[in-house]
Amino acid sequence: MSNPASDAPAGERDVALACAILKQRFGERLQTGKSIREQHGHTLSWLPNQPPDAVIFANDSQDVADIVSVCAEHKCPVIAFGVGSSLEGHLNAPQGGVCIDMSQMNQVLEVQADDLSVRVQPGVTRKALNTYLRDTGLFFPIDPGADASLGGMAATRASGTNAVRYGTMKDNVLSLRAVMADGREINTASRAKKTSAGYDLTRLLVGSEGTLGIITELTVKLHGIPESIAGGVCHFPDVESACRATIQTIQYGIPIARIELLDVSQVIASNAYSKLGLKELPTMFVEFHGSDSATAEQSELFGEIVRDCGGSDFEWTKDEAARNKLWQARHDAYWAARQMRPEAEAVITDACVPISRLADCVEETRKDIEANNFLAPMVGHVGDGNFHTMVLIDMNSPKEVAAAKEFSERLSARAIAMGGTCTGEHGVGQGKTRYLRDELGDTVDFMAMIKQAFDPDNILNPGKIF
């Protein structure tokens, strides 16, 4: 099976003509300045910038359909842009083309409180949504590190610290509207909580990274804000005992809402950046959601498990300010890590393995980091078997760049060998294409068949996934 990215050679494309036609239609809403183009190719990734030829600010789904229709006619690549917090080069334009900036499509369209769902435009960010919802008693739980847009989060199948309890975007999207490569807008599913009505196009578009359709509207699940939230910190002599405590907690059926591991290097970084004063040991941030008595009971029970596994006392609190400080520090882990070497770039890995193999995978990776003398703090969504190392490298040193690439390659191979994946929540983008076939073999051919069927001219975000 050939690579769909090569099926429509750039030579046949007429990007300039498409842009000229779109300029007539969109006027000042189509921008071609160098800095705006570079900004729209830019992500939090270390991959080199490949700007699009033009950026158009869409106001509604009709704009998106019009842009895609013109681009389809001229085989011009189209890339959707949320806030630019992707980590795998999803927004780069290796074959040029048009970037559709979705930030103006930022309306919350309808809160369906009785159904615990909300209909939003794709440019709404997770924080904006929760601010909008603050009087409803409901919240949207998915929390990647950045304040990402919901469209972007769906496109990359994002998750975050709450996933152990609330799942990922895969689990929290009820239905999508999307403009397909032929310009048609489709609705992937009804609003029903369950459905067996044909192929699951909702889950097919979630995680398709803009290569099968451009998301123009989402209906996502909401959850009641828990009556009580308890959380706290504990530390462990080593990563293995932390993993053992996690496995026991989940097996016991304690409905833990967040369980995050920081390695010693990250604790040092976060102590400095977020003024935490934590002991320099593998450390866990934990949270429970439920009734007042349930969260207390769960905290006590978890504390017993931690002690059984050789960990410290589990210090927990229901105090909101203390909890917020902790979780702000967790979400700032990326910036804390970067502060350890401010002039460096961070290469962020995203391995995810069956939880039974997490301690092994983390330990081998730790040894690899030490053998290479990397500065590479590590954080883990330990309840899901997913962890990130942030390898801080000098992009002007070819030696460091090469070493980091080889490290990333070894880590992907290690995770795959343990029955895991090279990407738990960041997506394939440009950065992981080389590992996808290692992980899934011929299965990638069937993904490519879908791409070929839906987008035969390969105009939607070309050069990604495949």
Least CB distance to its own copies at residue 450 (A):
6
Smaller CB separation from its own copies, 32 or 293: 293
Whole-number Å distance between alpha carbons of 205 and 208: 5
Name the residue with tokens 């001219």. Answer: 457
DSSP symbols for 327-369:
HHHHHTHHHHHHHTSTTSEEEE---B--GGGHHHHHHHHHHHH
Smallest gap from residue 208 Cβ to its own copies (A): 6
Q: Which is nearer to its own copies, 75 or 119 (CB)?
A: 119
Position of tokens 């702000």?
A: 328
**CB < 8 Å & 24+ apart, contacts of 323-328:** 323/229, 323/231, 323/287, 325/274, 325/276, 326/231, 326/232, 326/233, 326/276, 326/285, 327/161, 327/231, 327/258, 327/285, 327/287, 328/274
Least Å distance, CB 389 to its own copies, is 17
Q: Is 11 helix (H, G, I), strand (E, B) or coil?
A: helix
Closer to its own copies by CB, 198 or 277: give it: 198
Q: How far is CA 170 from CA 173, 203, 211, 227, 443, in A?
A: 6, 6, 17, 26, 19
Residue nearer to its own copies on the CB measure, 92 or 386: 386
Q: Which is nearer to its own copies, 197 or 321 (CB)?
A: 197
In the block, tokens 């509604």 appear at: 60
Rounded least distance, CB 428 to its own copies, Å: 6
By beta-carbon proximity to its own copies, the closer residue of 196 and 373 is: 196
Q: How far does the chain reach from its first CA to its final CA, in angstroms?
A: 11
Q: Which two tokens stand for residue 31?
A: 């921008």
CB of residue 281 to its own copies, shortest distance in Å: 24
- Closest approach, Cβ 1 to its own copies, in A, equals 11
Of 288 and 374, the one with the shorter C-beta distance to its own copies is 288
Nearer to its own copies, 15 or 444 (CB): 444
What are the distances in angstroms from CA 20 to CA 11, 92, 148? 18, 21, 31
- How near is the Cβ of 316 to its own copies at its closest, in Å? 17
Alpha helices, DSSP H, located in 101-160:
126-132, 150-155
**Closest approach of Cβ 145 to its own copies, in Å?**
14
Q: Given the complex with its own copies, which of 122 and 429 has the nearer CB atom?
A: 429
- Report, in Å, the least distance between residue 157 CB and its own copies: 4
The C-alpha atoms of residue 408 and residue 348 are separated, in whole angstroms, by 9
Report the DSSP beta bridge partners of residue 218: 120, 176
Q: Are 18 and 28 in contact (CB under 8 A)?
A: no
DSSP string, 212-279: SEEEEEEEEE-EEPPSEEEEEEEE-SSHHHHHHHHHHHHHTT--EEEEEEE-HHHHHHHHHHH-----
